[in-house]
Amino acid sequence: MNSKVYKWCAVPQCKNTSIKTPKKVFVHVPNKKIIRDKWLKLARRNPNDVVSNSPLYFCEDHFDLPNDMENYMKHHLMGSVSQVRMKPGCMPHKFIYQPDRKTQTSDTTERPYIAKK
């Protein structure tokens, strides 16, 4: 990814851009239709309103980078990486800029009343 490209977070109500917040990591929304549509729906965007091949980004505020990013340690130690690589199956799950919803779309903590097998 070219770090010189202007990037803006595609999550509604999130104001992060590569100009306003240049230190933030911007994650490229996958181009594969099924995954792209899931990401957009999680962010409360209509996938039909977005051109299918347009480059879209979500900022780091919508992820848990230490757990979601494959090359996080390199980014953390070096200050940047040439390409952000997210772990397979990673989905955005933090939507703090949308106050009418929970900050996470799914609860990843284990329910205490479910016994382990």
- Residue 5 tokens, joined: 């490209």
Indicate the number of domains in the chain. 1
Judged against a pLDDT cut of 60, whether residue 104 lies above it is answered with no
**Backbone Cα Rg of the chain:** 15
Q: Which residue type sits at 91?
A: M
Contact between 41 and 48 (Cβ < 8 Å)? no
Judged against a pLDDT cut of 50, whether residue 109 lies above it is answered with no
**Where in the sequence is the domain holding 94, given as residue range(s)?**
1-117
pTM of the model: 0.75
Return the higher-pLDDT residue of 74 and 1: 74
- Residue 64 tokens, joined: 């848990």
pLDDT (tens digit, 9 = 90+) per residue, 64-94? Answer: 999 999 988 888 777 777 788 899 999 999 9
